């Protein structure tokens, strides 16, 4: 079965918008896009060309990202953060009122938002709270067989906010079982923080696999809004039908290319080493604290703690300028706080606030 058979028939039938920059290269006497004849800014290359629409998928950036993630360039789509990838996938594969999105809460909240925005049913297979929020693999497979409307399965590895990774053997089984029925998305936003291989190695075998990567976390560039969808070319082509004509702004393209140069790569490796060291320091700071019931360290750049006093602790920390993440409206995460691994100074600040908090008891 082709991937088109899983997509919305109206998207498959739709003729894609052809932007001026797609139809003709951005060189020569350019009178085809109603642009101004010159830029009002001087300086860098992109400033001098700001009057021109950017390349929708700059080949140089696509090639660099393909090299970084070890896939052919035809398997790469660059997006405005992985948030955009999640949105595109939901719009392409889910018919409003007919198809469903499956997710495994507690997990990243944008899968729900994308499903609800699209009018798709949201099917939840909750993680096992009693088992450190592990994925309930069997329940997921059972749900898929019971609910034929599921077209998209969102998995996150490492998961946010529980930090656990998906087992490769399980992923393969899931991909096998969903081959003609659903697209499995493995969101690897935090993959660089752990040593596990990327699911992208399975792309040659599975047409229904999508891997999401981002420069927001381990590349320290959340402000850039640059995400990457990795998938087989037929699936990428479907996403291309609904993506905005120019998803990446010129300064974003220039900065993303800069990010991927060798000297920045070295700094990125150093950042990853530091985050690993700081994570151990953070865990030491948290150990044995008043009211702390458990700590889930996970494999990403954050830890999840359970405490009897979540609301009071969050408010106390915030009053001292240390902002942690609570989940007041999520019943699965009641009593939990997520703490990002910050700099050594950030961890010292947190330690001081926690000392103060304990003295008040
Ligand atoms: C699992 C997960 N996926 C995706 C994102 C969003 O990434 P981006 O900044 O690339 O949109 C986040 C952000 O927190 C996340 O936790």
What's the CA-to-centroid distance between 251 and ligand 1, angstroms?
21
Best residue among 84, 158, 189, 225 to mutate for probing ligand 1, ranked by most atoms within 8 Å of CB: 189
Q: Can you spell out the DSSP letters for 160-176?
A: TTT-----HHHHHHHHH
Three-class SS state of 223: helix
Best residue among 78, 81, 85, 216 to mutate for probing ligand 1, ranked by most atoms within 8 Å of CB: 216
Residue 21, pLDDT score: 80
Atom of ligand 1 nearest to the CA of 159: 1
Q: What is the pLDDT of residues 139-195, one digit of tens each?
A: 999 999 999 999 999 999 999 999 999 999 999 999 999 999 999 999 999 999 999
Burial class, 124, CB count within 10 angstroms (exposed 0-12 / middle 13-18 / buried 19+): middle
Q: At 279, is the pLDDT very low, low, confident or very high (cuts 50, 70, 90)? A: very high
Closest CA to 7 of 151, 149, 128: 151
What's the CA-to-centroid distance between 40 and ligand 1, angstroms?
34
Q: Give the mean pLDDT of 16-34.
A: 86
Kindly report the protein residue whose alpha carbon is nearest to atom 14 of ligand 1: 108
Q: For residues 187-214, b (16+ Cβ closer than 10 Å) or e, as one string?
A: bbbbbbbbeeebbbebbeebbbbbbbbb
Helices marked H in the chain: 9-13, 20-23, 45-48, 59-69, 81-93, 110-118, 137-146, 168-178, 233-242, 250-259, 262-286, 310-319, 344-360
Residue 25, pLDDT score: 77
Residue 217, pLDDT score: 98
To the nearest whole number, what is the mean pLDDT of the chain? 96
Helices marked H in 94-129: 110-118
Kindly report the protein residue whose alpha carbon is nearest to atom 7 of ligand 1: 82
DSSP for residue 109: T
Residue 245, pLDDT score: 95
Residue 211 pLDDT > 90: yes
What's the CA-to-centroid distance between 83 and ligand 1, angstroms?
6
What's the CA-to-centroid distance between 189 and ligand 1, angstroms?
6
Residue 50 pLDDT > 90: yes
Q: Residues near ligand 1 with C-beta < 6 Å? A: 81-83, 108, 156, 160, 187, 189, 214, 216, 222, 227
Best residue among 81, 109, 110, 230 to mutate for probing ligand 1, ranked by most atoms within 8 Å of CB: 110
Q: In what order do the strands lie in the sheet with 302-307?
A: 292-296, 302-307, 336-340, 325-326
Residue 117 pLDDT > 80: yes
Cβ neighbours of residue 253 under 8 Å, at least 6 residues apart?
46, 54, 55, 58, 61
Structure tokens at 295: 């700590």
What's the CA-to-centroid distance between 146 and ligand 1, angstroms?
29
Provide the CB-side half-sphere exposure for 339 (13 A, CA). 32
Residue 16, pLDDT score: 81
What's the CA-to-centroid distance between 292 and ligand 1, angstroms?
27
What's the CA-to-centroid distance between 168 and ligand 1, angstroms?
21
User: In percent, how much of the chain has pLDDT > 90?
Assistant: 93
Q: Which residues pair with 77 in a beta bridge?
A: 229
Closest CA to 167 of 128, 135, 204, 193: 135
Q: At 18, is the pLDDT very low, low, confident or very high (cuts 50, 70, 90)? A: confident
Q: Tell me the residue length of the chain.
A: 361
Q: Can you spell out the DSSP letters for 138-153?
A: HHHHHHHHH-TTEEEE
Residue 361 pLDDT > 80: no
What's the CA-to-centroid distance between 113 and ligand 1, angstroms?
13
Structure tokens at 93: 């594969």
Residue 1, pLDDT score: 75
CB 11 within 8 A of CB 242: yes
Structure tokens at 99: 């198809």
Structure tokens at 229: 């969808």
Q: Give the mean pLDDT of 241-266.
A: 97
Best residue among 217, 225, 259 to mutate for probing ligand 1, ranked by most atoms within 8 Å of CB: 217
Residue 218, pLDDT score: 98
Residue 17, pLDDT score: 83
Residue 360 pLDDT > 90: no
Q: Give the mean pLDDT of 199-205.
A: 98
What's the CA-to-centroid distance between 156 and ligand 1, angstroms?
10
Provide the CB-side half-sphere exposure for 83 (13 A, CA). 12
């Amino acid at each position: 079965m082709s991937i088109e058979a899983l997509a919305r028939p109206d998207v498959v039938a739709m003729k894609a918008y052809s932007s001026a920059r797609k139809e003709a290269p951005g060189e020569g006497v350019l009178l085809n896009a109603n642009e101004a004849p010159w830029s009002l800014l001087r300086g860098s290359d992109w400033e001098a060309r700001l009057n021109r629409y950017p390349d929708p998928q700059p080949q140089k950036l696509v090639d660099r990202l393909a090299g970084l993630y070890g896939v052919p360039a035809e398997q790469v789509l660059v997006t405005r953060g992985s948030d955009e990838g999640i949105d595109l996938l939901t719009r392409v594969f889910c018919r409003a009122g007919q198809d469903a999105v499956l997710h495994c809460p507690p997990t990243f909240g944008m899968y729900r938002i994308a499903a609800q925005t699209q009018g798709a049913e949201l099917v939840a297979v909750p993680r096992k709270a009693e088992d450190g929020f592990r994925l309930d693999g069997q329940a997921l497979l059972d749900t898929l067989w019971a609910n034929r409307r599921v077209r998209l399965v969102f998995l996150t590895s490492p998961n946010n906010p529980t930090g656990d990774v998906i087992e490769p053997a399980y992923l393969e089984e899931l991909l096998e079982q969903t081959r003609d029925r659903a697209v499995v998305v493995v969101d690897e936003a935090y993959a660089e923080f752990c040593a596990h291989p990327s699911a992208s190695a399975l792309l040659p075998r599975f047409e229904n696999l999508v891997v999401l990567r981002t420069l927001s976390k381990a590349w320290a560039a959340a402000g850039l809004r640059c995400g990457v969808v990795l998938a087989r070319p037929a699936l990428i082509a479907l996403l291309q039908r609904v993506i905005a004509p120019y998803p990446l702004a010129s300064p974003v393209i220039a900065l993303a290319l800069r990010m991927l140069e060798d000297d920045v790569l070295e700094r990125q490796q150093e950042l990853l080493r530091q985050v690993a060291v700081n994570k151990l320091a953070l865990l030491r700071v948290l150990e044995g604290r008043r009211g702390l019931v458990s700590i889930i360290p996970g494999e990403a750049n954050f830890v999840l703690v359970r405490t009897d006093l979540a609301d009071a602790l969050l408010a106390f920390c915030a009053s001292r300028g240390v902002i942690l993440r609570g989940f007041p409206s999520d019943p699965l995460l009641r009593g939990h706080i997520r703490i990002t691994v910050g700099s050594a100074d950030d961890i010292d600040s947190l330690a001081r606030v926690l000392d103060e908090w304990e003295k008040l008891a």
